């Protein structure tokens, strides 16, 4: 068994939830925050059999889009003036950042 941890953009979370249910995959959605942008994203925990990893990755790929996002200027207040960026910077936020981990034991009570 594997645990798939997928960090995705909030905009895709409803569609991904629906698609996982449609394909009979069970998932838990957690509200999370990106360390760099400090804005909300969504983390899915999906427990699956080894042979289900590939189909779940396909569902994630089909439902999560990569987008450009503007990062607000970083304030010099309390920081180093050398690192001050006075203009917004555009970053590419991935459709999904996915970790796949082995599960030693799985129980439901
Ligand atoms: P954030 O940390 O808010 O990062 C959003 C996007 O900003 C990243 O997209 C990346 O394009 C850019 N970025 C991040 N750190 C950067 C830096 N030090 N310098 C320049 N640009 C930077 P993604 O790589 O697609 O990541 C989307 C979200 O996935 C991240 O949101 C974070 O919540 C999660 N994530 C990505 N890599 C991770 C990792 N190795 N471990 C845990 N979470 C991760």
Rounded Cα gap, residues 87 and 85, in angstroms: 6
Note whether residue 7 is domain-resident. yes
Note whether residue 6 is domain-resident. yes
Other Cβ atoms less than 10 A from the Cβ of 5: the count is 14
Q: Is the pLDDT of residue 69 over 70?
A: yes
Domain of 6?
2-102
Domain count along the chain: 1
Note whether residue 80 is domain-resident. yes
Note whether residue 108 is domain-resident. no
Note whether residue 107 is domain-resident. no
Q: For residue 109, how far is its CA from the centre of ligand 1 (angstroms)?
A: 36
CA angle 102, 105, 109 (to 5 degrees): 135
| pLDDT score, position 87 | 82
Residue with CA nearest ligand 1 atom 28: 34
Q: For residue 107, how far is its CA from the centre of ligand 1 (angstroms)?
A: 32
Domain CATH code at residue 14 = 3.30.70.120
The model's pTM: 0.90
pLDDT band with cut points at 50, 70 and 90 for residue 75: low
Note whether residue 9 is domain-resident. yes
Q: Is the pLDDT of residue 81 over 70?
A: no
| Exposure letters 25-49 (e unless 16+ CB within 10 A, then b) | bebebeeeeeeeeeeebbbbebbbe
CB 88 within 8 A of CB 37: no
Q: For residue 16, how far is its CA from the centre of ligand 1 (angstroms)?
A: 20
């Amino acid at each position: 068994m594997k645990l798939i941890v997928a960090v995705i953009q909030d905009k895709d979370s409803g569609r991904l939830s629906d698609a996982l249910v449609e394909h009979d995959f069970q998932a838990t959605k957690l509200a999370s925050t990106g360390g760099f942008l400090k804005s909300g994203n969504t983390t899915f925990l999906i427990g699956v059999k080894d042979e289900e990893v590939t189909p779940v990755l396909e569902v994630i790929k089909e439902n999560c889009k990569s987008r450009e996002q503007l990062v607000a200027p970083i304030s010099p207040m309390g920081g180093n003036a050398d690192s001050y960026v006075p203009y917004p910077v555009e970053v590419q936020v991935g459709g999904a950042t996915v970790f796949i981990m082995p599960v030693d034991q799985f129980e439901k009570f």
